[in-house]
Amino acid sequence: MKAAELENKKVLILGFGREGVDTFNFLRRLFPNKLIGIADKAPKEKLDAKARNLIKKDKKLKLHLGQDYLKSLKQYEVIIRSPGIAPKIIEPFLTERQKLTSQTGIFFDECPGKIMGITGTKGKSTTASLIYEILKGNGIKVRLAGNIGKPMLSLLGSAKKNVYYVLELSSHQLLDLKKSPHIAVLLNIFPEHLDYYAGFKEYVNSKANITKYQTKDDFLIFNQDNEFVKKIASKSKAKKISLSSVHLKRRDFALKGKFNLYNIKAATAAARVVGLKDKNIFKVAESFKPLPHRLEYVSKYKGICFYNDALSTIPEATLAALETLGSDVQTIFLGGFDRGLEFGKLVRKILNSSIKNIILFPETGEKIWREMLKQTEKHEDVLKKHKVFLVQSMEDAVKLAYEFTDRGKICLLSTASPSFGLFRDYKEKGDLFKKFVKKHGTD
């Protein structure tokens, strides 16, 4: 939807977090005197400081805050949805005459530059950041935005035709998108966010939007080893580049593990499409380090190596971390918010590994424990080989790690579950892990 179409429409911004605030600032620059609606489930006092400050200063706002915020939708012609608000909860309040759009949709309609979009259940932040660094390191005009970097609409005012816009796109941002990027990267699809979508099929379909509207003049870089990605790619009209066709030769990359090899291949393929030579690509790629909370090496304290993999919020990501670190992992932190994921494969891996200490957070910690008992004949069989602890805080978990992990071994935070509950998000979880590892490693 073009921004100019909003001038004479009754517009509601649905969700007033980071992206909602950015959307408001974008609209206010375009329409200084326009009355804009703001709806959010949180009451005013629960909004962040930036949002509260805008509400205090701007006199041309109509607020719909608190539990009944969705009832306001019927008053507006255009609703700009923030990614965190699932369409399934909005639908009962919409009519056929209303237009539902998003910040992502507006950006795609307005941006004059070349858009490169990256998505996948896991790896999209690393891949988007690596592509950005490769292009920037080779003198190409590039901006990083979307789910990582700056919110998209903040870039539109200075957007130019000769600039590449590298966007990390979540499934939530792709869900109602009606355009696809010129260069699309589709890394993988695993069950995730099942509480947000009507079902796994809807989640897969949202990811498919990254290529659904591409033409024969566009490019799709995809991982043929993932069955869902492969099926989506088979229907794409774009020029296809399979990651199996991307050869790196033997190189010493700072990013380790098979899963990161896919990320490096995807970034390499994207940079080649832009026109870069391999020697210039690898000059940057070889020194690119893992992003925080993604199999991040914290340090060695008291002879124990600590790894922070707080963003591993699905079992597949934790399995990848275990594959990368190998048999030296002796202690693992698991569990968190329950989104209905299954842990059978992960538990089998752990029961047949050299892991001795399993430290579990609620809610899925209990679910993982039940799966462990299910896969062993007797309760005692589990306890003979493994020490299992259920904890209620990160500090208690770290204390147990120091008590029971041997020198020379690895303690891994890779919970295979989202962070909500004990922690605000994966960043808080990872930061607390690092804080208490340092605190109890130097006391």
* Residues β-bridged to residue 39: 14, 64
Query: Residue 370's pLDDT is what?
Result: 94
pLDDT-derived band at 4 (thresholds 50, 70, 90) equals confident
What are the CB-based long-range contacts (under 8 Å, 24+) for 225-229?
A: 225/262, 226/187, 226/188, 226/189, 228/189, 228/204, 229/186, 229/187, 229/188, 229/189
CATH 3.90.190.20 range(s) for the chain read 296-441
Question: What 3-state class would DSSP assign to 304?
Answer: strand
Token pair listed for 40: 């959010």
State the pLDDT at residue 376.
87
Mean pLDDT taken over the chain: 95
**DSSP one-letter string for 15-67:** --SHHHHHHHHHHHHH-TT--EEEEESS-GGGS-HHHHHHHHH-SSEEEEEST
Cβ–Cβ contacts within 10 Å for residue 342, how many?
A: 11
Residue 148 pLDDT: 87
pLDDT at residue 251 greater than cutoff 90: no
Q: What is the per-residue pLDDT for 145?
A: 94
Distance CA 227, CA 9 (A): 43
Q: With both helix axes pointing from N to C terminus, report the angle between 364-374 and 344-351 in degrees, rounded to the nearest 10.
A: 60
What does the pLDDT average to over 161-176?
96
Residues forming a β-bridge with 99: 78
Residue 314 pLDDT > 90, yes or no? yes
Mean pLDDT of 68-72: 95
Q: Are 188 and 262 in contact (CB under 8 A)?
A: yes
Start-end of CATH 3.40.50.720 domains in the chain: 6-97
pLDDT score for 196: 85
Confidence of residue 151 (pLDDT cuts 50, 70, 90): confident
Who contacts 247 (Cβ-Cβ below 8 Å, separation ≥6)?
none
Question: For residue 79, is pLDDT > 80?
Answer: yes
Q: Has residue 282 got a pLDDT over 90?
A: yes
Per-residue model confidence as pLDDT tens digits over 378-423 = 667 777 889 999 999 999 999 999 999 999 999 999 999 999 889 9
pLDDT higher than threshold 80 for residue 273: yes
Instruction: Reply yes or no on domain 296-441 having CATH 3.90.190.20.
Output: yes
pLDDT tops 90 at residue 2: no
The residue-averaged pLDDT of 120-143 equals 97
Q: CA-CA-CA-CA torsion for 257, 260, 262, 268, nearest 10 degrees?
A: -130
Mean pLDDT, residues 103-121 taken together: 96
**Which of 94-98, 195-199, 237-241 holds the top average pLDDT?**
237-241
For domain 6-97, say whether CATH 3.40.920.10 is its number.
Answer: no
| Ranges of CATH 3.40.1190.10 domains, the chain | 106-285
| Fold of the CATH domain 106-285 | UDP-N-acetylmuramoyl-L-alanine:D-glutamate ligase (3.40.1190)
pLDDT in tens, 332-370: 999 999 999 999 999 999 999 999 999 999 999 999 999
> 309: which 2 tokens?
């993999």
Instruction: Quote the strand ranges of 276-432, DSSP E.
Output: 296-301, 304-308, 329-334, 357-360, 387-390, 410-413
Q: What is the pLDDT of residue 57?
A: 94
